[in-house]
Amino acid sequence: MSTPARRRLMRDFKRIQQDSAGGVSASPLADNVMIWNGIIIGPQDTPYEDGTFRLRLTFDEQYPNKPPNVRFTSEMFHPNVYGSGELCLDILQNRWSPTYDVASILTSIQSLLNDPNISSPANVEAANLYKDHRSQYIKRVRQTVEKSWTEDMLDVGDEEDDEEDEDEDDDGSEKGEADDKEERP
């Protein structure tokens, strides 16, 4: 049941598996190649540094002639990200090109993190803080970065644990480790 969109998505998958760089990765669902999970690591030397931001990308049969629907599933604080996690990004709307693939979409979003477009704000509070109270803005962003680490720790159907004893190390490389409870489907 191979359509041009599916074939292209398989190529995108192979490309991102073999050749991705710069702290992004993604893969389709096991049972549906039209829906993907993605990860963007916040770039170094930005308030988003080391954040492990999760996304969901939804494609249809018109891909690559039409862009996917992309939204963050992690909590975000950014002038161009709606509360729902949806993005306001030109390459996903009017500046879309069929030459983009999953890797380039994620890399573009990663660049957007430290380079917001204030003129079309999706999150007005974030836009205002970015403009007028930069240190406050940075603080709010760091909160989402830390939250993205503890999202790793949450168990299925669990209320949030008290994270009083959060690790303070910036490295964060330990935090991705799978914990005891594995939820493999």
Partner 1 sequence: MATFTDPLDSITDPSDWGDTSFPNLSKLDSLLRCHICKDFLKAPVLTSCDHIFCSVCIRRSLESDKKCPLCHEETYESKLRKVLLLDEISSWFTRNRPELLDKHRPTANNTPEPVAAPEAEKPAAVLRYESRKKRAAEDPLVECPVCSTFMSADELQTSHIDSCLANKRARPSPSRPVISSFFKKERTPQTQPEFVKKKPKITNLDPTISTNKLKEKLNSWNLPTGGTRHQLETRMKEFISMYNANLDSVNPVDDRVLINRLMKWEGTYSLSNTAGDAEEDGAQWRRKYKAEYDELIKQARANMNRMNTKLDTTD
Beta-carbon contacts of 96 under 8 Å, excluding residues fewer than 6 positions away, are 66, 67
Chain length of the chain: 185
Shortest Cβ 104–partner 1 spacing (Å): 8
Nearer to partner 1, 64 or 116 (CB): 64
| Residue 59 interacting with partner 1 (CB under 8 A) | yes
Residue 27 φ/ψ, nearest 5 degrees: -155, 150
For residue 63, the number of C-alpha atoms closer than 13 Å in the C-beta half-sphere is 25
Task: Tell me how far apart the terminal alpha carbons of the chain are, to the nearest angstrom.
Answer: 25
Q: Which one from 24, 57, 81, 88 is the annotated catalytic residue?
A: 88
Nearer to partner 1, 132 or 162 (CB): 162
For 90, 101, 143, the CA distances from 10, given in Å and listed in that order, are: 25, 11, 36
Q: Which stretch binds partner 1 (CB under 8 A): 7-15, 115-123, 125-133, 137-145?
A: 7-15
Total site size for partner 1, rule CB under 8 A = 75
The answer to whether 54 and 151 are in contact (CB under 8 A) is yes
Contact between 146 and partner 1 per CB under 8 A: no
Q: Any contact of residue 111 with partner 1 (CB under 8 A)? A: no
Binding positions for partner 1, 68-107, rule CB under 8 A: 69, 71-75, 84-85, 95, 97-99, 101, 103-104
Q: Does 46 bind partner 1 (CB under 8 A)?
A: no
> Is there a contact between 43 and 49 (Cβ–Cβ < 8 Å)?
yes
The 3-state DSSP composition of the chain as helix, strand, coil percent (nearest 5) reads 30, 15, 50
For the bound state, the minimum distance from the C-beta of residue 185 to partner 1, rounded and expressed in Å, comes to 8
Q: Does 62 qualify as catalytic in the annotation?
A: no
Stretch that binds partner 1, among 15-23, 113-121, 127-135, 137-145 (CB under 8 A): 15-23
Catalytic residue annotation = 88
